[in-house]
A and B are shown apart, each in its own frame.
Chain A
Amino acid sequence: MENNGNGNKKKTFAIGRAILILAVLAVCCVTALKAAEAVKSTVAVIVNKDVAETTMAQKDVEATFLGKNTKWGDKSKITVYTLKSGDVHSAFLSDYVNSTPAKFKSYWKKQVFTGKADAPKEFKDEKEMIDTVSKTKGAIGYVSVEFLKKNPDLAKNVTVTK
């Protein structure tokens, strides 16, 4: 009886382990499949032309705008710029940062009121944003795809993958 009980426990444990391994594999496969896709958005992520990166993973964009990634691949400083409000700001946060304007503001207030970091500089419009990104070494920001088409020479568009 005791042996049967132990046997059942082992069987249950083995099934549980198999389910866990399958679940981890499923998450990895889904993530790997997602990695090849570019993020579809009406907003383009832009960087200063001196920045070497031409592509970024979405989670790196998210980490950068949350102040967790502060350096480019060559270890130079990342300077983050954001818009103050508006549809482009909302769409950017939704598509690239998994956030909303209220949550994003709250997150940065948390950083400020615990002394961890200063909030990124905000701009009222896309013109100010792209002008500043074009003049600032290591800068990253965003504008609408339409706006970037009209001002293609000011900053470099980075392809963001899922």
Chain B
Amino acid sequence: MLDHLSFESPKPKVIAGAKHDWELVIGMEVHAQVASKAKLFSGASTQFGAEPNSNVSFVDAAMPGMLPVINEFCVEQAVRTGLGLKAEINLVSAFDRKNYFYPDLPQGYQISQLYHPIVGEGEVIVDMEPGIARRVRIERIHIEQDAGKSIHDMDPAMSFVDLNRTGVALMEIVSRPDIRGPEEAAAYVVKLRQILRYLGTCDGNMQNGNLRADVNVSVCRPGQYEKYQETQDFSHLGTRCEIKNMNSMRFIQMAIDYEARRQIGILESGGQIDQETRLYDPDKNETRSMRSKEEAHDYRYFPCPDLLPLEIEQAWVDDIKASLPELPDEKKARFVKDFGLSEYDADVLTADTANAEYFEKVVDACGDGKLAANWVINELFGRLKKEDHDITDSPVSPAQLAGIIALIKADEISGKIAKDLFEIVYTEGGDPAEIVEARGMKQVTDTGAIEAAVDEIIAANPDQVEKAKQNPKLAGWFVGQVMKATGGKANPKAVNELVAKKLNG
């Protein structure tokens, strides 16, 4: 099995400052909400959009004396995610308290895993374009609780707090600073989300906040990054700023771009970067310091006395590993290798599992990967997009599409008629072969019939015949006329041959 197609690394993004060139260095912390029914340490629901404070247990509300009990499913999803990122799984991990005060954190601390995370080093291959990809190292994944939600705009003097999200399980996926530009950063999140969705461990819904990214940005002079990679010594890199809570690919790119230019401006005028947390404001397209939280940055972590270490068995990890689905990189490599698809087409077809499943059903039924890819990508996706349909509610089933392709392969219908047939199947449904039969759409391969049509056109257009004798390119006009006269049903190859023969003869 091929893990990934071969690739080369992209060039880092270079930003020209007023004085000299700069490169970007980016690391990300992605918070992915575990797709569980209940919370990490309580039996309250994780359902989005519920009545405020209804999905809250006494544990989540931090009532005195309540104790957390871990949700085994959430642990399993973290392990699964780790395995999906080819990471080492730590059979013993432990929970720590991260202490800070905020109205949406009733415990006064977040239960997290600072010292002993459940997942260690892994990697994500971030595809940029065919043959170009960035290998981003994953440093760790740990499990932690989400906080509640504060709403600041419902009352002029008060903030409103909803604890429904409090205690929902998050996986924090921490990358190494291996990302080298805004586009790569967005592509990294896209790829991560794709893998999480394949694994089924997080739904990746960024609008609901189920996937959010903290982006660490620093800038350095060309050459410095290579020194860092050689030594893993951060002193070769610039001071970083962390942009918190990004939940849109577009904003991630804009925020990084703004932040890099801000840092370059400071450095080139002789200033220094303060390591700090910043917030991106999409309305103004700028990042702002969150100085108000500075004081709280001493989190005084310590092991959570309410929870024993989390010990898991290797056999259990092996079971999870055995149940992993084929992941995007492998699927893509297989599509390229087995069906002779271009990397671009394979990319489109493996973007999500529903696309890939549909495509594979079509291939299974018609036996032609390349044709199937063409039809799924160009005709079906195009048509679905036009009507804002999803592949899962496609009016054309894989069997129907395979039926159309089979008719083309058997020379029963021409490519042009196939498109008409597709339209009929899309809007009216039905069996493609029966439709072709019932509506007389069959391709005319009978040379006698085609010959008659060619003769008729030639006889009716003596002027064109003269011109065509001088300029052989005009033969195309006759082919067009014959196709028109036969309602597009004539076999184009046969028409071409006959027209050429008659005009020259």
Tell whether A pairs with B: no
